[in-house]
Amino acid sequence: MSKFAKSLLILFFLALFGTGACLAQSRLLQQADFFELNEGLSNRLVKTIIRGRDQLIWIGTNNGLNRFDGYEFLVFNSDWDNPHQLSGSNIAALKQDKSGRIVVLYENITTNFDLLDPLSFKTQRVDISPSTGVNGLGRTISVSPDGEIYVAAENDSTLSVYRMTPDYRFSTVFSLKEKGFGHGQVDLLPLKNGDFLINSTDKGMILVSPEGGIKQFYLSNNFPCAEGSVIKYPDHPRFMSQDQQGRVWVAWYSTPGIFRLTEEDSCFEKPQELPQDYYYVLAWEDDSGNILFAQTSRLLSQAYPALSRFNCLSKENRVVDFSYLLGQRNFPITAYSRDFFKTIFLGLDTGLKIIRNKRPNVKNFLDQDINTDERGASIRGITQGRDGKVYFAREINYWYALNPATNLLDTIQIMDELTGKPIEFSCSSNLYTVADTIIWGASCLNNTVGQLHRYDMVNCTAKTYRTKYLISAFTILQGGNFLLACTSDDSNGGLLVTFNPKTGEFTPVPSPDGDNPLSGTIPRYIFERSNGDIWLATEQGVFVFAPDFHLIHHYNANSDDTGLRLSHNVCYVIYEDNDCNMLLGTENGLNIIDPESNSIRIYRKKDGMASDVVCGIVPDEKGNYWISTYYGLSYLDTREGDFQNFFVADGLSHNEFNRFSFFRGTDGRYYFGGVNGLNAFYGYDLRAELDAPPPLLTKITRYDYGKDQVEVQDTGLLFLNKLVINPQDPYFILQFSLPEFYRSRHHKFWTRLDPLDKEWVYQGANNTVRYNRLSAGNYTLRVAGALANGLRS
């Protein structure tokens, strides 16, 4: 390759990596869960979201309050025929008081609000009137950081602040006499230290002590602006809030930028770490202390303007651009999260979106922005050379060299040594490195001719050997010769062929018994065991040959010996562990054979694996395994027998992986290829150490024989530890949920009713269990769950 051409190549791939983050972010949005009216949401305009003390999600809309358990929306509103009643339906905001009740505030209503216990569904309407101790017109309702509820009301020229008492009345905190706040909007912010920040669009902003003393009257010069610009003040704040660190944030309706006040300062400042040329319209703080700011580029009068960007200010004071979360429709209205860097709930003008915002350090190569039902660059064999580079084959026409230190990619074309032209090939299989500097790979030409390619990575030269046999897979034996698993019309299926790299000769292996045991088979993988035996994976089971090629055993799914019966005949990959156990990846699970005890242990999707179709096995340094499948990547903890699964949402370029496309580099980095490029990562980049939350009981449905009716119980379940069912009642159904809501429909469950069940019963994605006419007695129901990534509760 010329110096000029190489420079062009490097520039190209630098540009390619510049788009990598965009592709990963696009895939985050593609994998988001979206809920709208069709899924039971009471209204498409989602205005406020919180997590209740019941650990479930509560959503306020223009037409009702919704409890969301990951599967269903339970609606509360003022409709006369709804058993879950509120005093209104047009929700403005949701807060929580000091006892964990949900404070339901209504749009344009300051004369009352509701308190809802999320466990019992008991609702208390609280009126704001002289009969409850409030003299004057209610102007605003606010909840302090410690859950106290305050009301600001105005009577003639006096503004008073009231605190709600346990009997749902109000006591006066202070009154500001002769300080009339006009007829404009009043906003009240109770602060952590007991002070109150009050803003009037007519009079401006003041800081008031708990006793009613005015500590500061803010003037326009207390809000610094860029040179040459003038702040419109007094003004209406887009938002006025205090974060967990005690900082006060104010964004004015008519002034770009945002202002911050600390407890030590008397004047607001414009934080330099945040952009100041945008209008800040919304702000939310997650449970971890990160703050998400929504901005628009121009002054708009809409209540919910189109947003231009999202910035997240981390609790470490680091600004991260989250604008990719806006997608194509830029109308997020509210947001909630325990941690904005993990899972985010976005309330939109079209419904609820749940986004997994975790961005692991997975590097993608040759990936494209495609949907999961589409295909891009299909990757096959992977190996590593003495130069430290990782070499991998695309299914057609190209090999690549990846520098792990720089993540730069170089393209290798296999050239015909006679014509000097690139050799066309397809159906690539595995790659092997010999003597640290020579790479061997197999392919076919026009699906009629088999090819072995020899590439010298030092001299960048290649030589191709052709045979009439189509090469399905190959391995390099301990003696240095090659053993190829092939197909041929002459053999009516599979056959073994040796290749001598010194002479370039291909020789079919004769069967010692005279018959070809592979006749009618389709080979898929070949592996030499440490004792010299040859294990051949086919679509008709796994054949084991001695070094002299006489058949020792045929493992299959139709064996009379049930203890040695495979879970499926089609096998794609074979691996031998340090204890000489043989791991087989089949179309119906991972089979682990102990040849000494003649036993098989089988892992399937029902045991927590991402998919039943296993196509790659790579051990880690602890004796655990990374397992690639046709739908996701799994990590098997062999000590616990648990799986952790990973998908596109975790940073992978696609959910479907390929045969032969798995490898662990000398530095411990893993490489897995699929139908949309190559993925590279270290184990600690993907694996989470946290367990899934325990399942919650969310609903009980039973048929009451005596009343001849179906009864549904959806309250008082969080701490329920005893359920009495009449023996004559024909059935009852229990519904449960894992309070980790992303991809909730991919959660898995297991149940065990002691003493009836002798082992755990796999329920799959079904989050209900039904029991019919149980005999009288005492039973204990156990429920276990796993998140979409396989983490167990």
pLDDT tens digits, 27-73: 555 668 899 999 999 999 999 999 999 999 999 999 999 999 999 99
Residue with the bigger pLDDT between 485 and 596: it is 485
Enter the tokens of residue 146: 């410690």
Q: Calculate Rg over the CA atoms of the chain.
A: 33
Confidence of residue 507 (pLDDT cuts 50, 70, 90): very high
Amino acid at 775: S
Check residue 373 and give its pLDDT.
78
* Average pLDDT, rounded, for the chain: 88
HSE at residue 126, side-chain half, CA atoms within 13 A, is 26
User: What local confidence, expressed as pLDDT, does residue 9 receive?
Assistant: 27
- The answer to whether residues 786 and 762 touch, using CB atoms and an 8 Å cutoff, is no
Of the candidates 679, 686, 647, which has an alpha carbon nearest to the alpha carbon of residue 665? 679
pLDDT above 70 coverage of the chain, percent: 92
162 pLDDT band, cuts 50/70/90, is: very high
The pLDDT value given to residue 571: 97
d(CA 383, CA 481): 19
Q: Give me the mean pLDDT over the 584-595 stretch.
A: 95
Looking at residue 359, its pLDDT comes to 65
Q: Is the pLDDT of residue 169 over 50?
A: yes
Q: Are 464 and 445 in contact (CB under 8 A)?
A: no
CA–CA distance, 617 with 627 (Å, rounded to integer): 5
In which band, very low, low, confident or very high, does the pLDDT at 407 lie, cut at 50, 70 and 90? Answer: very high
What is the reported pLDDT for 1? 31
pLDDT digits (tens, 9 = 90+) for 175-211: 998 555 666 789 999 999 999 999 998 889 999 999 9
Q: What is the mean pLDDT of residues 495-503?
A: 93
Compute how many other C-beta atoms are within 10 angstroms of the C-beta atom of residue 178. Answer: 7
Q: Which of 140-154, 309-323, 577-591 has the lowest mean pLDDT?
A: 309-323
Summarised one tens digit per residue, pLDDT across range 757-769 is 999 999 989 999 9
Phi first, then psi: give them for residue 501, nearest 5 degrees: -65, -20
- The confidence score (pLDDT) of residue 3 equals 27
- Is the pLDDT at 457 greater than 80? The verdict is yes
pLDDT at 792: 80
Q: What is the pLDDT at residue 181?
A: 62
Confidence of residue 447 (pLDDT cuts 50, 70, 90): confident
Q: Largest Cα–Cα distance of the chain, in whole Å? A: 111
Q: Do residues 52 and 96 touch, judged by C-beta distance below 8 A? A: yes
Lowest mean pLDDT among 20-24, 389-393, 533-537, 589-593: 20-24
- Cβ-count burial of 130 within 10 angstroms (0-12 exposed, 13-18 middle, 19+ buried)? exposed
Separation between Cα atoms, residue 501 and residue 204, nearest integer Å: 87
Who wins on pLDDT, 224 or 392?
392
Instruction: Give the span between the Cα atoms of 212 and 177, in whole angstroms.
Output: 10
Structure tokens at 106: 């209504």
Q: pLDDT grade, residue 226 (50/70/90)?
A: low
Q: Residue 654 pLDDT more than 90?
A: yes
Cα–Cα dist 129/135, whole Å: 7
Q: Is the confidence at residue 295, as pLDDT, over 80?
A: yes
pLDDT at 772: 92
**pLDDT at residue 202, as a whole number:** 87
- DSSP track, 170-201: EEEEEEETT---TTS-EEEEE-TTS-EEEEET
Determine the average pLDDT of the residues in 612-626: 95
Question: According to the 3-state scheme, what is the secondary structure of 476-519?
Answer: ECCCCCEEEEEEECCCCEEEEEEEECCCCEEEECCCCCCCCCCE
pLDDT of residue 578: 92
Provide the pLDDT confidence category of residue 2 given band limits of 50, 70 and 90.
Answer: very low
Q: Which residue has the higher pLDDT, 506 or 651?
A: 506
What is the band of 559 on the pLDDT scale with cuts at 50, 70, 90? confident
State the pLDDT at residue 666: 94
Looking at residue 517, its pLDDT comes to: 81
